[in-house]
Structure 1
Amino acid sequence: MRCGVRKADLSASLVVFLVALPLCVGVALTSGVPAELGLVTGTVGGLVAGVLSGGGPRVSGPAVGLVVLVHEAVRTYGLRMLGVLVLAAGLVQLLLGALRLGRWFRAVSVAVVQGLLAGLGLLLAAGQLYALGDSAVPAGGPGRLTGLVSLPGQVDPGTLSVGGATVVVLLLWPRWRRGARLVPAPLAAVVSASAVTAVFGLDVRRVEVRGLLDAVRVPGSADLGRLMEVGVIGTVAAFALIASAESLSGAAAVDRLHRGPRTDHDRELLAQGAGNTVCGLLGALPMAAVTVRGPAGGASAEGARAGMRTKVSRVLYGGWLLLFAVLVPGVLGVVPVAAPAALLLYAGCRLVPVREARSLWHGDRGEAVVLGVTAVAVVVGGVFVAVLAGLALSVAKTAWDTSQVRVETEDRGEAGLVVRVLGHATFLRLPRLLEGLDALPQDREVRLDLAGLRHADHACAAALEGWTAARAQAAARATSRSTS
């Protein structure tokens, strides 16, 4: 085609649009903001981040991993502050990308990232169970989980049946290969739920449509002034961290689906930062390059399978979302709230890396413990506590693994014993080192050989000096007693 748009680009963009549309709406509703803001973020993901990021079938849209944090932020600071938080997070990402720090995200333990997403996925899935029952979501992570005990007595049967049927369609639709090739499972599930609700006249809550212009909120100067608050700064840092981690880890996963250029992490971070900056100026949701898990990453995965290779597909996807948001947003008014909640329930469950955790447990149980502790910390203490706990535990595990020291003894008869200390001696292995040295016979001459000791921290060096001095004093006392 002379205009540069291939048929594959056009068809791939339509596939991505059909997958992303219900997801954008679901993320917005679950975050406690108007549905139109999800479409705005998806549009910016295509038209801004799609142009600036590199090649490959990566699709940017509302960050599923941030749903819980956005919901809490809107509840704490109000909807007007959302744009300020996203704008500041985007600027942080731009700064990190300009400093070429994107590649350093690869240095973060995969177990920590997976633990963060697992904890957020648990909270996301728990929150959707309340939405399926048309009940209010309790505040705080522990409250969401403990509140599930009393939830069965509060659910609305009609809403629950619609949501349950949506989940069933999501699970079964991909098995019908011909249908799945024509209509993506998320769209089929939402359309089916909307049709059944309309035909049978079910009295369930539906998506409220305000209109694009009414939903967009440009941050004011008074809102920008709150950026100096400690809580706001922490929320901005959490937005930037999770959005960046979700984008870059998701990019690595999508890279495995195609043979094109690999992800430039610094460029991707700049693209995501620019997109989030624009989203913040429009008061929309934070965005990320979605992962390949479930509906949350279905856009990227389906785009790869449909032939998405160039930026054209991503730009067209953003254009389709913009046209929908401008021309026919009223269509969303027939969608029952339980349908996108079911999508996010499925996405939240898929964020929990059960298969990866099982592999880690069999291959490296220390990494599996890091994943589990990070996930629990997200639920109990929040993202910042989880990041600190996960990184600290990961560093401690690495130090333990690299701190390998052993004591070898060579008996040279009348010449005494030659004791060699080999490896890396750190405080983590100090008890074992001293145990081996203290077990040496007291009535033999000992020569300590440290030539094979590649590293010794201050604690171990001081302990070795103290042991050598104590051994020399003991030998001197024994000699003085024998001569007297």
Structure 2
Amino acid sequence: MTMHIEEPVSRSSGGTSSYWPDVGASLVVFLVALPLCVGIAVASGVPAELGIITGIVGGIVVGLLPGSSLQVSGPAAGLTVLVADTVAAHGLAALGVIVLGAGLLQILMGLLRLGRWFRAISPSVVQGMLAGIGLVLVLSQLYPFAGRAAPATTAEKVAGLPGLVVGAVTSPAAIGVGLLTLAVAALWKRSRLRAVPGVLVAVVVASAVGLLLPLQRIEVGPLTDVVALVDLSVLDAGLIGAIVTFALVASAESLFSAAAVDRMHSGPRTRYNQELVAQGVGNAVCGVLGSLPMTAVIVRSSANVQAGARTKASRVLHGVWLLVFVVALPGVLAYVPLAALAAVLLQAGWKLLEPRRVAELVRTDRAESAVLLLTAGLIITTDLLTGTLAGLLAAVVKTAWDVSRLSVSVTPDGQEHEHVTLRGNATFLRLPRLLEALESLPVTKHVRVDLSGLRHLDQACHQAIEHWADAHRTAGRTVDLIRPSAG
């Protein structure tokens, strides 16, 4: 594996100013990552601190490795169900073994150069993936934004929205702080001090105002209380399936995310095999520490790009901020209201959703929009991997249908002759139309079928034409087949 150190994209002649965009972006990503790390850990049924550990490893360890420059790694919402089921079935002690094994398998897959196969992904699938994740994020953060605990399932979240509105009216403190956060962030963009991230300013202001109000705040204990080195004695044959599943799901999520993030910026492209190795190293470290599995996370990655990051320094620094604040300054986090962080995530989710682009695609291309809506809908109702794979399958079917353009023209040539010309691609998808045209020919003594205009003739259509010609000859008529050239 070739190690590659990327130079900063900035053309500045020197000084700390050239690195300030990465410092500012890292603070934004830190603010986005912190509630995600805590929330995903709680949703997975493990201590919140384990999510923080995975976020730190994703930033510092994976951030330093080659592969991607702007993609950010950490615990992912797409793995919460797998983690919860695994912990319930095998216990928390087995989680470290499974994550370590999955990481080693990812490293092997990367060294075998399997990562490049994940580059084949349709833009409509990518946009559907972003829209689905954005909507899931918005739904999940509306509740802490209003000072309420979020329900477990998407259906429960949607069903609880009317009650959430009523509760927000009767208890407006949390939603007031959330709206203040959004307002300050929006107004700061118009100020002359835009070098300081508006999200950071908004959270500081909201935290200061929140000191006067009874609000829910972040609660994180010492990391040393939950760190438990992996116990290989619990490894048995029953965990092998879980290891393979974790490795495949984490790899798919990370590399699909890479394809989406690469479309957001014009910087260096992701080197997929190296990124897969980097993800494997990160998961191996997380497994040794007994923490949650990691993937590249599209929410943090998009926040990183949108905040103006230029090099991998931003993602490394975000891991440093997580470590510093949780280890050295845990008391500072206790002043940050959950409603303020929920507002930050709502803004990130809305940017991922991009309703204008979705509406525009629906108006201009119904087939592509169907793939997008299918992908997003399944991500919302099931999980990220299921939705993305279904979207990819739908995109493949759509492409196969689009390229199966077949023109069948029948021209009479005298009273007893018919000339049939085929052009385009004769695939099994167009077989019904082809057979209908051949079988509807008038009863004549001679038929000439010109196949020379076909760009592709698959086995199904070839056999159908041969069988039809044999039947026609058996009936006492003649058939000439002008076959496609060998090229």
Fold shared by both chains (TM-score > 0.5): yes
Aligned to 2:289: 282
CA distance in 1, matches of 2:336, 2:237: 36
For 1:105 and 1:130, locate their aligned partners in 2 and report how far apart those are by CA, in whole Å.
35
Equivalent residues in 2 for 1:350-365, closer than 5 Å: 350-361=351-362, 364-365=365-366
- Structure 1 position 297 matched with structure 2 position 302: yes
Residues 59, 74 of structure 2: 8 Å contact kept:
no
1:482 maps to: none
SS of equivalent residue, structure 2 residue 348? helix
Q: Distance in 2 between matches of 1:181 and 1:38?
A: 30
Equivalent of 1:242, from 238, 253, 259?
Answer: 253
Q: Report the CA distance shift for 1:111/1:284 in structure 2 as closer, same or farther (over 3 A).
A: farther
CA 1:147 to 1:233, structure 2 compared with 1: closer, same or farther past 3 Å?
farther
Q: Does the 8 Å CA contact 2:129/2:379 hold for their aligned counterparts?
A: yes
Q: CA deviation at 1:194?
A: 1.0
Percent identity, aligned pairs only, is: 40
Letter matched to residue 26 of structure 1:
P
Aligned ranges 1:167-316 → 2 under 5 Å: 167-170=182-185, 172-182=186-196, 184-198=197-211, 200=212, 202-221=213-232, 225=236, 228=239, 234=245, 237-254=248-265, 256=266, 258=267, 261-289=268-296, 291=298, 297-304=302-309, 308-309=310-311, 315-316=316-317
Q: Which residue of 2 aligns with 1:436?
A: 437
Question: Is residue 50 of structure 2 the alignment partner of residue 49 of structure 1?
Answer: no
CA distance 1:296–1:451, change in 2 (3 Å): closer
Q: 2:72: which partner in 1? A: 60
Name structure 1 gaps, 5 residues minimum: 478-484
Partner-residue secondary structure (3-state), 1:413: coil
> Aligned equivalents of 1:313 and 1:461: distance in 2?
57
Q: Secondary structure at the match of 1:121?
A: helix
Q: Larger deviation: 433-442 or 225-234?
A: 225-234
Q: Report the alpha carbon displacement of residue 126 of structure 1 after superposing the two structures with TM.
A: 0.9
The 8 Å contact of residues 248 and 265 in structure 1, kept in 2 or not, is answered as no
Does the 8 Å CA contact 1:32/1:74 hold for their aligned counterparts?
Answer: no
Whether 1:77 aligns to 2:87 is: yes
Correspondence for 2:3: none
TM-score for both structures, normalised by structure 1: 0.81
Aligned CA distance change for structure 1 residues 269 and 277 (closer, same or farther; 3 Å): same
* Structure 2 unaligned spans of 5+: 1-7, 9-13, 479-487
Question: Aligned-pair distance for 1:75?
Answer: 7.4
Deviations 1:209-267 (A, max 9, x none): 2022224344434765586376775455333321232134314423x1x4xx4432222
| Aligned counterpart in structure 1 of residue 179 of structure 2, from 155, 160, 164 | 164
Distance of 1:175 and 1:283 partners within structure 2: 41
| 2:484 paired residue number | none
Deviation at 1:37, TM superposition (A): 4.5
* Other-structure match for 2:108: 95
Q: What is the identity, as a one-letter code, of the residue corresponding to 1:216?
A: V
Task: Give the conservation status (yes or no) of the 8 Å contact 1:35–1:207.
Answer: no
Contact 1:248 1:268 in 2 (8 A): no
| Shift of residue 400, structure 1, vs aligned partner | 0.5
Name the counterpart of 1:480: none
CA contact (8 A) 2:375 2:388 kept: yes
Contact (CA 8 Å) 1:142, 1:379: kept in 2 or not?
Answer: no
Query: Superposed, which structure 2 residues align to 1:126-145 within 5 Å?
Result: 126-145=139-158
Counterpart of 2:33 in structure 1 is 24
SS at match of 2:327: helix
Range with greater deviation from structure 2 (67-76 or 101-110) = 67-76
Q: Provide the TM-score with structure 2 as the length reference.
A: 0.81
Measure the CA separation in 2 of the matches of 1:376 and 1:364.
18
Query: Secondary structure, in 3 states, of the residue corresponding to 1:177?
Result: coil
- CA apart distance, 1:373: 0.8
Counterpart Cα distance in 1 of 2:95 and 2:27:
27
For residue 450 of structure 2, what is the aligned residue in structure 1? 449
SS in structure 2 of the partner of residue 449 of structure 1: strand
> CA distance change for structure 1 residues 403 and 117 in 2, over 3 Å: closer, same or farther?
same
Amino acid at match of 2:283: N
The CA distance in 2 between the partners of 1:231 and 1:278, in whole Å, is 18
Deviates more, 1:368-377 or 1:423-432: 423-432
* Number of matched pairs: 457
Cα shift readout 1:345-398 (whole Å, capped 9, x = no counterpart): 222222224344345445543222111111112223334442442232122111
Q: C-alpha separation between the residues in 2 aligned to 1:334 and 1:173?
A: 23
| Conservation of the 8 A alpha-carbon contact between 2:372 and 2:391 | yes
Looking at structure 2, the residues matched to 165 and 75 of structure 1 have their Cα atoms a distance apart, in angstroms, of 38
Note the alpha carbon deviations across 1:376-432, whole angstroms, 9 max, x for none: 122233344424422321221111011111113343325722212222222211222
Structure 1 letter corresponding to 2:414: G
The answer to whether the 8 Å contact 2:426/2:456 transfers is yes
In the alignment, which residue of structure 2 is the partner of 1:15? 24
Mapped contact 2:96–2:231 kept (Cα < 8 A):
no
Question: C-alpha distance in 1, partners of 2:402/2:146?
Answer: 47
Which whole-Å CA distance do the structure 2 matches of 1:252 and 1:226 have between them? Answer: 41
Separation (CA, whole Å) in 2 of partners of 1:88 and 1:377: 29
The structure richer in helix per residue is: 1
Q: Spell out the pairing of 1:311-460 with structure 2 (5 A cutoff).
A: 315-361=316-362, 364-413=365-414, 416-443=417-444, 445-460=446-461
Structure 1 vs Structure 2 CA RMSD: 3.4
